[in-house]
A and B are shown apart, each in its own frame.
Chain A
Amino acid sequence: MSIPDIVSAGLLILGGIFFLAGTVGLLRFPDVYTRLHALTKADNLGLGLIVAGLAVQAESFAAVGKLALIWLLVLVASAFACHLVARAALRRGIEPWT
C-alpha cells in the first residue's frame, strides 16, 4: 500500500467510526433533542473525514471541489433540518429530558 492509500484508508475508517458513534447516540440518548445532537455533529464530522479520505484519491482538483461541495451541501441541509426538527418538537410541547 502506498502512503496516499494508507492516509485515505485511515480517514475513511475514522469517518465510519464517527457515523457509528452517531448511530449509537441515536439509540442510547433519551429524547429527540439529545438524539439530534448525536446525529448532526457526529455525522458532520464523519462525512467530513470520509470526504477528506476520498479527496486524497481524487484524480483532479475539480473532483476534490465536488467532494467539498457535497460536504458543504450536507452540512447546510443537516444544520437547518436539525434546527427545524428541534423547533417543531419545542412548539409541540415536548419537554427536554433532564
Chain B
Amino acid sequence: MRLRGPLPIVRTLALRLALFALLWWILTEGQPGSWPLGGLFVVLATALSLSLSRPVPWSAVGFARFVPFFLWWSLRGGVDVAWRACAPSLPIAPGMLTYRLRLPPGRARIVMTAVISLLPGTLSAEIVRNNLIVHILDQRVSNEADLAALETKVAALFHIRLSTPPSTHAETP
C-alpha cells in the first residue's frame, strides 16, 4: 500500500509529532513549565513510533465521516442492548453469522473487528481466513447490511477500494 500525496514521510512525521505533543499537553494539563522535558519525550516517542509502525495510508475525509458514524452507532448499540436487557420478555434471538470479508488482512480488519463489538447487536468472535464469525443478538434484524455499511466506512478510512467479488482478496501467505 502506497501513501498518497507529496512527501508521505514528512506528513506522517508531522502528524505523529502533533499527536504526541497533544498527548503531552493533555497529560500535563497544559503546564508551561513541563515543555522542556515534554519536547524531548515528544521527539523520542515519535522516533519510537516510526520505528515500530510504518506510515499508514489513511484518509482525513474518511476519518471525519467515520467519527460521527461511530458515535451514532455506539449510541444506538447501547440503547438497543439496554432496552433488550430490561424488557420483561427479554427480546433476544441470538445466533452466529459468517460474514465474508472484503477488506484485506491487516490494520483495516483489526479496526473492523474491534468496532463491530461496539455496534448494535453484533460481536466479533473469530476470523477464519476471509470469514468473520460474528455473534448476533437478534437474528430478526438485518445484521449483514450493518456489517457491509461498517466495512465500507472502514475501507474509506484506510483508502481501500473494496472489490465486489470477495474472492479477489485472497489471504496472502
Contact = CB atoms under 8 A, between A and B. Distances in A.
Tell me what chain A mostly uses at the interface: helix, strand, loop, or mixed: helix
Interface stretch (B35-43, B47-55, B77-85, B151-159): B77-85
Interface of A: 17-18, 21-22, 24-25, 28-29, 31, 33-34, 36-38, 40-42, 44-46, 48, 60-63, 65-66, 69, 75-76, 78-80, 82-83, 86-87, 89-91, 96-98
B115 A79 contact: yes
Nearest to B25: A62
B31 to A, nearest CB: 9
Interface in B118-161: 118-121, 123-126, 133, 135, 137
Given A28-B85, A65-B25, A83 B77 contact: no
A25 B137 CA distance: 12
Contacts of A37: 81, 121, 123, 135, 137
A45 B120 CA distance: 11
Interface of B: 22-23, 25-30, 74-75, 77-86, 90, 92-96, 113-115, 117-121, 123-126, 133, 135, 137
A89 B31 CA distance: 46
B85 A21 contact: yes
Nearest to A61: B30
Contacts of B120: 41
A69 B28 CA distance: 13
A91 B113 CA distance: 17
